[in-house]
């Protein structure tokens, strides 16, 4: 199996000023084509460290993907380290990348500066994959067997996440052409509402009965819920797909309604598909989640087909004046109550005219809870033509985590309501 290492260069990562999101995207793309990522390494903008680490990774892997260190500013020295590593003797201008640099800067109304132009210069021993979204080109260095003990390839990508992501398809194509790849089989199933340890207990017997070459992984995410991933490495493609499919079907039966999809996706994507398929619309009324549900619903391309809008009613007056929640409900039950959640969902459905509406009202913390409603409590309301329901959830004390879990729980309540009203589901396992 072809092995790869993903390297990230930049002091800003080592001092914790930015989170490395590139490595995850690159790993996912490599995984898809059956390349096994063995390591990810981040290290500093120090010439000797760059060369030493890349040499070591090239000795242990056939593919090394490097991101970062190619910006126009003075703290970036990756390119000259790569020139040395590859035995390049001079820099040559890539004319096509020069044209892209000019086009991009002009379209943003910016002058083309010398430091921008210099980004189209590459070491003579590399091939270029154009970066159409940014200024620094992708550099490809191919090493014969005598350099690092085996033939291997180094890809150097820009560090800006959307540029790195944009360059990935070309890099994957290049890897396919230059390496003979073995298959990896993964199937993911998405669950929401049951904790990792309770899932493990539920699946214990089945998991113990799995064939030796199959592996189940638990991948909890505060917004997505727990993903379960079943894997086989290598083997004959047709047979493996059938074997993994059989075990997958058993898994679906064991899990039932907590499964929201039988492939890797998100609650908001699933809700979008269910609504599009049934020609229905949705709106949201948010208190403690502060716009997070709206932001998640709107993040799906094409969301305007079914997402009408939302009201974030942080202040009680906004709940009353815009959503039409009766002051007597707030006076009698408080804003964190089943009654208020129901009135918010009904209110936003009425003023937007949507088919479905979801609402949240709770206490994200870190302070502000009461005996009856401690920090971490949320009431979720869901309303449609078939009626209004409310559900209470209780989580912990961490504000950001609570907001994420409240939003996720609310989306899952909405998902179940849409499934129940429309008779549709995004999982084929529990049909």
Instruction: Write the interaction track for a second copy spanning residues 303-322; mark x where CB under 8 A is met and - where it is not.
Output: xx--xxxxxxxxx-xx--xx
Applying CB under 8 A, which of residues 152, 293, 341, 414 lies at the interface with a second copy?
Answer: 293
Decide if 189 contacts 255 (C-beta within 8 A).
yes
Instruction: Decide if residue 217 touches a second copy (CB under 8 A).
Output: yes
**Residue among 13 and 418 whose Cβ is closer to a second copy:** 13
**Residue among 152 and 228 whose Cβ is closer to a second copy:** 228
Binding to a second copy (CB under 8 A): which residues in 124-183? 133, 135, 160, 162, 166
Q: How far is the CB of 372 from a second copy (least distance, A)?
A: 15
Instruction: Decide if residue 1 touches a second copy (CB under 8 A).
Output: no
Q: How far is the CB of 108 from a second copy (least distance, A)?
A: 7
Q: CB neighbours of 421 closer than 8 A, spacing ≥ 6? A: 356, 384, 385, 386
- Residue 115 CA to residue 155 CA, distance in Å, equals 22
Instruction: Decide if residue 115 touches a second copy (CB under 8 A).
Output: yes
- Residue 219 CA to residue 188 CA, distance in Å, equals 10
Q: Which of 274, 270, 343, 357 is nearest to 309 (CA)?
A: 357
- Residue 192 CA to residue 169 CA, distance in Å, equals 31
The window from 122-130, 170-178, 270-278, 300-308 that contacts a second copy (CB under 8 A) reads 300-308
Decide if 262 contacts 276 (C-beta within 8 A).
no
Binding to a second copy (CB under 8 A): which residues in 325-344? none
Applying CB under 8 A, which of residues 295, 338, 422, 430 lies at the interface with a second copy?
Answer: 295
Binding to a second copy (CB under 8 A): which residues in 365-424? 366, 394, 396, 398-401, 403
Helix, strand, or coil (residue 150): coil
- Residue 35 CA to residue 353 CA, distance in Å, equals 49
**Residue among 124 and 204 whose Cβ is closer to a second copy:** 204
Binding residues for a second copy, rule CB under 8 A, total 106
Determine if the peptide bond prior to 366 is cis (ω within 30°).
yes
Binding to a second copy (CB under 8 A): which residues in 20-79? 20-21, 23-31, 37-44, 49, 53, 71-75
- Residue 237 CA to residue 228 CA, distance in Å, equals 21
The window from 11-19, 88-96, 325-333, 421-429 that contacts a second copy (CB under 8 A) reads 11-19
Decide if 38 contacts 59 (C-beta within 8 A).
no
């Amino acid at each position: 199996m072809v092995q790869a290492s993903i390297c990230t260069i930049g002091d800003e990562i080592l001092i914790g000023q930015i989170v490395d999101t590139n490595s995850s995207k690159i790993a996912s793309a490599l995984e898809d084509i059956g390349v096994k990522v063995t390591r990810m390494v981040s290290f500093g903008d120090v010439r000797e460290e760059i060369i030493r680490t890349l040499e070591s990774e090239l000795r242990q892997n056939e593919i090394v993907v490097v991101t970062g260190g190619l910006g126009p500013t003075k703290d970036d020295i990756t390119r000259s380290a790569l020139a040395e590593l590859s035995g390049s003797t001079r820099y040559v201008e890539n004319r096509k990348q020069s044209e892209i640099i000019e086009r991009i800067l002009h379209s943003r109304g910016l002058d083309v500066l010398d430091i921008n132009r210099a980004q189209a210069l590459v070491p003579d021993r590399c091939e270029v994959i154009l970066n159409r979204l940014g200024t620094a080109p992708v550099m490809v260095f191919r090493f014969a067997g005598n350099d690092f003990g085996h033939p291997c390839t180094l890809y150097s990508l820009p560090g800006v996440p959307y540029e790195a992501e944009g360059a990935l398809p070309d890099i994957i194509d290049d890897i396919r052409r230059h390496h003979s790849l073995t298959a990896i089989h993964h199937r993911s199933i998405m669950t929401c509402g049951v904790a990792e340890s309770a899932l493990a207990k539920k699946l214990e017997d089945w998991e113990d009965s799995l064939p030796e070459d199959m592996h189940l992984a638990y991948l909890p995410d505060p917004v997505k819920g727990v993903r379960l991933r079943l894997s086989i490495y290598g083997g004959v493609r047709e047979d493996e797909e059938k074997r993994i499919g059989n075990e997958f079907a058993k898994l679906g039966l064991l899990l039932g309604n907590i499964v929201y999809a039988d492939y890797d996706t998100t609650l908001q994507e699933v809700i979008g598909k269910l609504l599009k398929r049934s020609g229905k619309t949705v709106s949201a009324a948010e208190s403690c989640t502060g716009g997070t549900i709206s932001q998640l619903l709107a993040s799906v391309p094409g969301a305007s087909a079914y997402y009408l809008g939302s009201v974030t009613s942080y202040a009680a007056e906004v709940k009353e004046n815009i959503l039409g929640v009766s002051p007597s409900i707030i006076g009698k039950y408080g804003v964190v109550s089943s009654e208020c959640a129901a009135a918010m969902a009904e209110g936003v459905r009425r003023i937007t005219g949507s088919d479905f509406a979801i609402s949240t009202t709770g206490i994200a913390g870190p302070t502000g809870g009461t005996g009856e409603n401690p920090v971490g409590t949320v009431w979720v309301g869901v309303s449609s033509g078939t009626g209004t329901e409310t559900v209470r959830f209780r989580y912990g004390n961490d504000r950001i985590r609570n907001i994420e879990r409240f939003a996720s729980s609310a989306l899952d309540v909405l998902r179940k309501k849409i499934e129940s009203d429309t008779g549709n589901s995004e999982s084929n396992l529990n049909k």
